[in-house]
Structure 1
Amino acid sequence: MTDREIDVLIAGQVYSDLVFTGVQAPAPGAEVYAHGFAISPGGAANRAVAAARLGAHTALVTELGDDPIGCIIARTLRDEPNMDLRFAVQHQGYQNPISVAITDGHDRSFVTYEQQPPHLPSWPDSTPVRVAHVGLGRGPVHTEATRLRARGTTLVSGVGWDPSGQWSEAMLEQLDNVDVLIVNEIEALGYTRTQTADAALDILAERVDLAVITLGPGGAMAAQGPSRLRVPAIAVRAVDPTGAGDAFTAAFMAATAWDWEIPQRLRLASISATCSVRGAGGARSAPRPADIADLLDEHRHDPQWEPVRHWAEQHRQSAIPATRGALTS
């Protein structure tokens, strides 16, 4: 384990998510009953679990709490095949952040409690890392991420929601420090001051080697240099949209680590996000290859999905690390 190459590295805060589904947030003084409930790792764990379930050897750099719910979260992460917790530390006396999510399948409401987290443990020093995730918009790119990039790691980044509504253009200036940017349509329009996703993609493609914009039910689009590509999403009944964007990013990172072509990276990412909304909780609902294969069996008429469906069929046993290299149809 010590010298094993890491396919996907995720760093960040892990939340304890308590998710109530099939219900809208109650009015003050009212009581409502949910149709479903789940406890799930959240935050950075959404991406880490999603990548690991697809078969990528995934390392998580984080601090975990030793409170009762935090211990449940830590045990859940330890039980995930392909999850490497060498760089995760369970900190005595630290309360894992808790988020209560209430969703009717479309809209979500959150209540969160968090303490000031301890400093994140050190990132891998000598272990090779193929793809790592970093966040932008809250200061410069992490020094250790920059060091990994200098050794050949592909840095994938997102920006997150800007609660101030200012969408500072300073974020765009940080894109020189990453290789791939994945943002949703609202974020893309906000930061680029444009009116359409196509216009936003043109601006982002000038700043970063590969730009991806997710479009929710509309699928996703990507640009690398002059090349433009768009893939659809498959329509399903949504139970909880929490973590869909994380599932997309994780799948795209895993496929990048395996050297897949960009069209199939996007398709794996799109179908992973689609699968994730059918269950409650971000990490808890992250799909395995079997889930992807089952969903795509319903779309055999579309040959564009066949390479990903064939891969998913080959890797139905999710504990087996997925194969790198080109897809076969």
Structure 2
Amino acid sequence: MASLYLLLLGILLLPFLLLLVLAFLAWPAPVKLQLKGRHVLISGGSSGIGLAMARQAASEGAHVSILARNPAKLEAAREAIRQATGSDVSILSVDVQDFDSVSKAIQDASPIDVLVANHGVYFSQELELQDLQEIKLQVEINLMGTFHLIKAALPGMKQNAKNTNFPASIAIMSSQSGQVGIYGYGAYSATKYALRGLAEALRHEVVLDNIYVSLIFPPGTETPGFAEEKKRRSELINMIAASSGCMKADEVAEKAFNGIKCGTFIIPCNFEGVMLAIATAGLYPQNSCLGAFVEVIGAGFMRFVGLCFQWKWFGIIEKYHAKRNGS
């Protein structure tokens, strides 16, 4: 009987022992990063999630700069933010594909405390049918554009973080398509998966410079770009995409900044995103012992859930082709 009691006690203590170990392994410690009085620069800030983030940062007292290609849209976004918050923002008309232009704009806008690489384009289509130029454009903007932005901003951000002794942040906007490949989004998923590799490596490179890195994984979000993209989807892409949830840009902006202000590396935006984050945790950094605990405990179960999703998607594909072939 005593042995049974000891066994039960050991089982009950196991979670606490695991938490103690994870508290040691989770690093660096969470941070409290305030937006008030800080300079927040957001690419893709003239519409959608970027505009929502710019509006929220301005409402919290940040000095906001928004960067995008279209001057007219930038002016409209500035006016919308002014009316919503009473704050003015700086605008930078730059194509992220052009490193020299990005570098000059960043130099003029510095110093930067929070950099949000939010820009991106996506075109859903089966790889066999998709034009190669569309694939290259997604790589150039989504991936290379992010490299351009961060590389241009990093030296100044390091120096500013050192001079002010305030923590800084680089946030990269990925997508749930950067956690799991979805039918019809091969090129887009490839660029968003690549951002995870960039973010993980960058986290190591800047951790001792008092700069935190965050990777944001929004689902489909109600934006002008999303509305246009839905018009060109094939029937099968629509069928599979319908199994995923959709959020409003303001909701994503709030989730994103909640994570950025804590120095969180992986920032999911809804329950589905949390499940994907657990299922795909792999070797990414984790600075919360509770977050690490959930990942360790939930990884096996989430693998099962992931297989269920794959079974569902393959079933949709199989039924669609059977119906189209009349069998």
Short-chain TM bin: 0.3 to 0.5
TM-score by length of 1: 0.35
TM-score by length of 2: 0.35
Larger Rg: 2
Higher helix share: 2
Higher strand share: 1
